[in-house]
Amino acid sequence: MRAWASLTVVMLCGLTWAGNLESCTSRCNEEFDRDATCQCDHQCPEHGDCCEDYAELCTAEEEPVELVSIPGLDDEPAVHSLYGAPGSCRGRCREAFDAHHACHCDDRCRELGNCCRDFDSLCSDHGGFSHSSDGITKEELRSISEKIYEVDANKAQKEDIILNPQNRIPPSETGDQVDRCPELLFTYVNEKLFSKPTYAAFIQLLNNYQRATGHSERFSTQQLAEQDTFLREVMKTAVMRHLYSFLHHQNRYSSEQEFVDDLKNMWFGLYSRGNGEGDSSGFEHVFSGEVKKGKVTGFHNWIRFYLQEKEGLVDYYSHVYDGPWDSYPDVLAMQFNWDGYYKEVGSAFIGSSPEFEFALYTLCFIARPGKTCQLSLGGYPLSIQTYTWDKTTYGSRKKYIATAYIVSSTQ
């Protein structure tokens, strides 16, 4: 329960004026206001103290927080925020409860359900906090991610891709929208990769979406069949077989068919990010990319990037991070223009198979939904952030994938 102070009202000429404190007009996503009679912050649905017009005025504007943490770059700040976080535990682990804060980092926040979104990633090893309540341990996540990395037989080999990263910039300059790289990012890609069944099925899906949010998606019978084909092909791979086996032994799924059905719902199920009904999905956002309010959102896939760059629709601007891997898959965090719309920081695996990305993002969404998920690939640490779509659900109130992307290569 939040602490409340009485609303101060001003009497002017016999009229009672309460300012804007009973409405969310011009208050969406503000911090908790103890002087207001109702709230418009991200936590108000959880606390049940939203203003009556919160849903109408604020929820249509919400977008999952997207952070790219790129440490060790010329001593620049480690976290670059694209949308602005509703609250953070940075420097606040185990602090005393403070009703003024929109979210909390104290000993009881898990019990009360009011932790900040980055509580587990920042505070889990701080003063006795642990991930034990999540069921899947950090050690198990590292082990299964290494196994997935090991068995990815369809990944690109060194000779399959010639990458030209060119200029790296500090995170402080990502908002400049300056093209510092006159040449293409991909000098060469062996397109024989794309004839492999999982690649071919994946590429068929990329053009099934309208990238602008607010426009309802309408899938043809053929496009729905393409979703099934993709799921069928990836489930034939050792990558997805190992993932299913791991989740089965964790008692998350009782059968492979149950797993596949859930994959289809969580990734391809439609929900609304804009004014349309069913204008977005996890797959569209993460792999194909979207445009909302004049900005690129999602778009975290190297195959999509290469194909769009080849068509002259993507202009690579610069990068802020190039991963430590000396083979594929590697990681790049970059800036680019997509047919007139800018992506300030977009992280992506480079040279990975479609099933590899699909498996790791799925693993993290299931094991650490809405949290930072710490993995290990080829002996190097890597973290993935996922967010759930909280406005609508499927099945037994299960949540769709809002987004998933790489946030860090250090732990």
Active site residues: 285, 300, 343
How far apart, in whole angstroms, are the C-alpha atoms of residue 183 and residue 68? Answer: 24
Q: Residue 41 CB: number of other CB atoms within 10 A?
A: 25
Encoded tokens for 150? 């090991």
Distances (CA, A) of 384 to 123, 179, 349, 377: 17, 27, 11, 12
CB 203 within 8 A of CB 308: no
The DSSP element (H or E) to which 375 belongs, if any, is strand 372-377
Residue 411, judged by CB atoms within 10 A of its CB (0-12, 13-18, 19+), counts as: middle
CA 51, 57, 62 angle in degrees (round to 5)?
105
How far apart, in whole angstroms, are the C-alpha atoms of residue 336 and residue 342? Answer: 6
Which of 16, 288, 335 minimizes the C-alpha distance to 166? 335
How far apart, in whole angstroms, are the C-alpha atoms of residue 163 and residue 149? Answer: 21
CB 399 within 8 A of CB 390: yes
What is the tally of helices (H) and strands (E) in the chain? 12, 14
Encoded tokens for 201? 């099925």
How far apart, in whole angstroms, are the C-alpha atoms of residue 357 and residue 240? Answer: 10
CA 319, 90, 362 angle in degrees (round to 5)?
60
Distances (CA, A) of 215 to 93, 280, 343: 42, 9, 21
Which of 387, 379, 388 minimizes the C-alpha distance to 411? 379
Tell me the residue type at 108.
R
Return all residues near 306 (Cβ < 8 A) that are at least 6 apart.
186, 189
The DSSP element (H or E) to which 283 belongs, if any, is helix 282-283
Which of 129, 138, 149 minimizes the C-alpha distance to 323? 149
